[in-house]
Chains A and B, each alone.
Chain A
Amino acid sequence: MFPVTGTTALLLAIVFGFAFGWLLHRGRVTNYDVIINQFRLRDFTVLKVMLTAIIVGGLGVMALVDLGAATYHVRDANMLAVVLGATIFGIGMVLYGYCPGTAIAAVATGNVHALVGACGMVFGAILYAFSFDWLLAAILPVWGLGKVTLTTLTGIPALLIFGGLIAGAILLFWSVERRAVAPQ
């Protein structure tokens, strides 16, 4: 029965995308000020949303995989490409004020500057396609680790890593919530 394919999957794509867009808007990460103030360390909404999603999602997916109800979809760690790409991405995200997913959601909520940036994203995607042959030869193969996870790389069990993540997240959230209440 699962995974669902064909026309049903295409209909579900709209349903799941709808849920994601709804959650991004309700979580306020379609708001330029919220995203920028995360990078200025004045508003921790983005980290709260992301870390909660990673922890809740990660534990559930791990359980589903253990039960045989899902499989992992780990991508190749092409380390030079991911380090270069993430550096460029960080600069772009702060200039733009959105990441690609929140950008689409922000356009839908009436942000015209997000639409202008989305045209920039189209241009960026075209540039990428143009440079792909060169990247494929010169950048993507450098320092390739394959489909590794933190567990396969370090030998630390996944549950222990999630335990550390939860402890770190609680400590971070507790300290920023306390700081947010104190000056009022």
Chain B
Amino acid sequence: MTVDINHGKNLKAVAHRVDWSPYLAGAGIGVLSWVVFAVVANPIGVTTAFSQLAAGAAVPIFGGEFVAQNTYWQRHPLRLDYGTLFLLGIFLGALASAVVSRTWRVEHVPSVWLERFGPSISKRYAAAFLGGVLAMYGARLAGGCTSGNGISQGLQLAVVGWTFLVVMFSSGLATAWLLFRTSAR
């Protein structure tokens, strides 16, 4: 494997931010898991609540009656509960961290994408949208995302969590190889 020196320097420039060691951030998420398991009995998760919010987006398009009769949304109705407010918290926490560290900035096309696919904003948006569709559908089918399945189920040594981690990572590696392999340039 050859080392792309310029690429390494770019990464280093990006890294000049008020960053924590990934081990510290990871340990922080671990400790947060202790707290949520003990205090609210509600492990960290994202996509169940996200689907509830999606019901809100579906109402104006398909009508309230239609959404009310859907089996999935009957089980997970749109409401402000622990899960949906947790998502609001994620947004506020990341916003505060970015503002305080003065790293808040508008980004349309990230640099790794730009190097590979060029500066076209619509191309990047199209991939992001399609990727978002697949990521949410896949997460709901699997029973959770990287947070709810990978971390919260993984830390309980649940079979569902570790199967998710191994399969998701393999699938991601293969996709990244197809999209970003140097011979495809």
Contact = CB atoms under 8 A, between A and B. Distances in A.
The finding on whether chains A and B are genuine partners in a shared complex, rather than unrelated, reads: yes
Interface residues of B, number: 132
Interface residues of A, number: 125
A78 B37 CA distance: 23
B72 A132 contact: yes
A114 to B, nearest CB: 7
A57 B34 contact: yes
Contact of A99 (B95, B128, B145): B145
B93 A125 contact: no
Contacts of A78: 143, 160
Contacts of A183: 3, 5, 8
A84 B140 CA distance: 11
Chain A facing B: main interface SS: helix
Given A30-B94, A101-B145, 14 more contacts: A14-B88, A21-B96, A50-B150, A57-B29, A78-B143, A97-B113, A108-B94, A108-B95, A109-B94, A109-B95, A117-B128, A120-B131, A124-B137, A133-B71
Interface of B: 3, 5, 7-8, 11, 14-15, 17-20, 22-44, 46-47, 50-51, 53-55, 57-58, 70-73, 80-83, 85-98, 101, 103-113, 121, 124-125, 127-147, 149-177, 179-180
